Amino acid sequence: MSREAIFEASLGYFLHPIREFLDDETVSEIMVNGYDDVYIERRGRLIKTEAQFISEDALLSAVHNVAQYVGREVDENRPILDARLPDGSRVHAIIPPSARGGTYLNIRKFLRSAMTLEDLIRFGSLNEAGREFLEICVRLHKNIVVSGGTGTGKTSMLNAMSTAIPDEERVIVIEDSSELRMSQPHCLYMEAQQADAYGKGGLSIRQLFKASLRMRPDRIVVGEVRSGEALDMIQAMISGHAGSMTTVHASTPYDSLVRLETLSLMSDVSLPVYVARAQVASAIHVIVQLARFSEDGSRRVTRITEACGLDGEKYVLRDLFVSRMKGKRFDGRLLADLELTGNLPTFCREAYEQAMDDRIKHSQALWKK
């Protein structure tokens, strides 16, 4: 019996109270706020369940079981655990005394099938013109940032956009915890590693990013930038690695650029603020803004915006698509249209210049010959 099989069997025992949610494909996230307080996210909505562990010790034992499998320790001195289940689902746990209400356990499930842009159209998150525009931007090697808050579907959007990358390109994917699944045959996946109890063996996204630049990538896809690696990514974008994509936590397109600027300043390279700002302005071409609506649990693209450089000390943005609310359907679902603003991107001639005429069907208003 393999180590993986043994772990899956023990995991089934320790996580038995929430097993049905792990097996339920309509559940995207499981949130245990204490041994007797379990919530799930289903189709974007948070739902309190009747499930509960028999005791705090039972829940803590489940966390220790996961930690043992991934070769990490969780105790009072190291109260936070980041791990991954055999099926790829992400596990995040915090134990007392840091977790004041008892052990907290969060499981973000790994989707068995990767999301496509067509799926996002079917879910009402995007429309045909937006899909086509983003696909052409990917093929034009525009640097794209997917921006949004927690749980807005940034990783799913990044994965969906990546399907437009040509199969002949060499793609390197760098993540803190592996979630992305590329459809391209020539794809290398790298994952950051936490240091052990003695501070050894750790490998940061920034270290992986620097290593990836020596591996002849056509594109680099970073799951999320959270720290000083933003500077390395920005500098790579403006020095020959166009077509890179990443996600960032921000509420608006403008905030996403400010966030990247702030993260760049967190690196160990001493930069004046105006230099970091100028580099961000030069590197980023398109921002896809996402939001989650609590009224119906939907996740939608609310803006597709071009970053047009700087005007003095301020970023210049040009909205190309904006979502307009139209009311509600009979079932309570929000009605919204992702509408063209009438603005043209500064690269509006590039699609025709690169002979992409046959790809332009729904977004003709954005392109010029």
What pLDDT, on a 0 to 100 scale, did the predictor assign at position 10?
80
Domain with residue 21: its CATH number is 3.30.450.90
The residue among 55, 73, 108 that closes a domain is 108
Do residues 169 and 97 share a domain?
Answer: no
**283 shares a domain with 333:** yes
Per-residue confidence (pLDDT) for residue 196, from 0 to 100: 67
Domain boundary among 108, 129, 159: 108
130 and 19 fall within a common domain:
no
Distance CA 70, CA 139 (A): 38
Weakly modelled stretches of the chain, pLDDT under 50: none
Residue 121 and residue 329: Cα distance in Å, rounded? 17
Q: What is the DSSP letter of 58?
A: H
Instruction: Tell me the Ramachandran region of residue 124: left when phi exceeds 0, alpha when psi lies from -120 to 50, beta otherwise.
Output: left
- Give the CATH number, domain containing residue 244: 3.40.50.300
Q: Supply the pTM of this predicted model.
A: 0.87
Instruction: Read off the tokens for 344.
Output: 């043209």
Cα(134)–Cα(120) distance, integer angstroms: 12
Interior/surface letters 265-297, b for 16+ CB within 10 angstroms, e for the rest:
bebeeeeeeeebbbbbbbbbbbbbbbbbbeebb
Asked if residues 197 and 78 have their Cβ atoms less than 8 Å apart, the reply is yes
User: Looking at 108, 133, 154, which one is the last position of a domain?
Assistant: 108
Residues 226 and 342 in one domain: yes
pLDDT value for 357: 94
102 and 141 assigned to the same domain: no
Residues 57 and 124 in one domain: no
Do 102 and 131 lie in one domain? The reply is no
Place of tokens 């166009």: 242
Residues 98 and 176 in one domain: no
Q: In DSSP terms, which residues pair with 111 in a beta bridge? A: none
The string of DSSP letters for 215-262 reads S--SEEEES---STHHHHHHHHHTTT-TT-EEEEE-SSHHHHHHHHHH
> Is 246 found in the same domain as 101?
no
How far apart CA 103 and CA 105 sit, in angstroms, is 7
101 and 149 in a common domain: no
8 Å CB contact between 140 and 345: no
Token digits of residue 155: 């990783």
Question: Are 75 and 132 contained in the same domain?
Answer: no
Phi, psi of 280, deg, nearest 5? -60, -45
pLDDT, position 113: 66
- How many structural domains are present in the chain? 2
Q: Does residue 98 sit in the same domain as residue 153?
A: no
Domain that holds residue 199: 117-366
Output the CA–CA distances (angstroms, integers) from residue 62 to 57, 66, 135, in the order listed. Answer: 9, 6, 43
